[in-house]
């Protein structure tokens, strides 16, 4: 049964308005094929070998001379403070047999069981004054010299002892060090952190 016809309405119909603008076919090239073609071309021209050599050169430079720690300047005045290494345990810590080592909420200080056997000395390795100051603080058995700038490898070769680098400023940030040279040493259950203003030559 047909419904009522409403006056003034017409049935819907499709209308061809023609082509409104220029169209192009959709083409999606195989991305891996494009990459392979570029690599083949780079290999053919020798460019890929040049890129590999440049990459190796920059990688070696970063190893020999790491990125300097940002925000560290030469100390112009002495400054010292205490650093407490103790932490508060958030959850129970148990050994592999289930025995309780530390309970949640317990304050744990690593110096209850271990000691900092060597002083930590932070320097700008490009400053001869800071390097001389650090070397005078003791032998490799007494101190670890940690650079925030410079090349540990160059100094290892020159002084026949290990030098370290504070990669990404992890240690200086932890201890709050902003100037060099700086010294970290244990005093009882805490660490004493000191920044030292030292005499400097024109180039240091």
125, 177, 71, 88: CA torsion to nearest 10:
130
* Residue 175 burial class via C-beta count within 10 angstroms: exposed 0-12, middle 13-18, buried 19 and up: middle
pLDDT of res. 151 = 94
pLDDT of res. 1 = 47
Total residue count of the chain as it appears in this document? 204
Question: Per residue in 161-200, pLDDT tens?
Answer: 999 999 999 999 999 999 999 999 999 999 999 999 999 8
Under the banding of pLDDT at 50, 70 and 90, the label for residue 42 is confident
- Above pLDDT 70, what percent of the chain? 76
What is the SS3 assignment for 34? helix
- Give the separation between CA 185 and CA 82, rounded to whole angstroms: 10
Q: Whole-model pTM?
A: 0.68
Least confident span in 13-17, 51-55, 127-131, 174-178: 13-17
- Give the separation between CA 6 and CA 140, rounded to whole angstroms: 101
6 has a pLDDT exceeding 60: no
């Amino acid at each position: 049964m047909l419904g009522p016809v409403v006056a003034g309405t017409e049935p819907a119909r499709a209308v061809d308005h023609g082509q409104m603008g220029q169209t192009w076919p959709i083409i999606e090239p195989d991305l891996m094929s494009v990459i392979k073609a570029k690599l083949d071309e780079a290999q053919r021209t020798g460019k890929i070998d040049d890129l590999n050599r440049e990459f190796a050169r920059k990688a070696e430079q970063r190893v020999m001379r790491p990125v300097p720690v940002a925000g560290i300047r030469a100390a112009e005045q002495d400054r010292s403070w205490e650093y407490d290494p103790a932490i508060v345990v958030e959850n129970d810590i148990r050994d592999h047999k289930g025995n309780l080592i530390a309970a949640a909420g317990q304050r744990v200080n690593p110096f209850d069981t271990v000691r900092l056997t060597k002083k930590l000395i932070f320097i700008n390795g490009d400053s001869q004054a800071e390097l001389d100051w650090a070397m005078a603080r003791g032998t490799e058995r007494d101190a670890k010299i940690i650079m925030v700038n410079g090349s540990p490898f160059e100094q290892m070769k020159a002084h026949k002892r290990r030098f370290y680098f504070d990669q990404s400023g992890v240690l200086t940030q932890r201890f709050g060090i902003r100037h060099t040279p700086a010294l970290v040493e244990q005093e009882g259950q805490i660490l004493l952190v000191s920044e030292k203003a030292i005499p400097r030559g024109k180039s240091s």
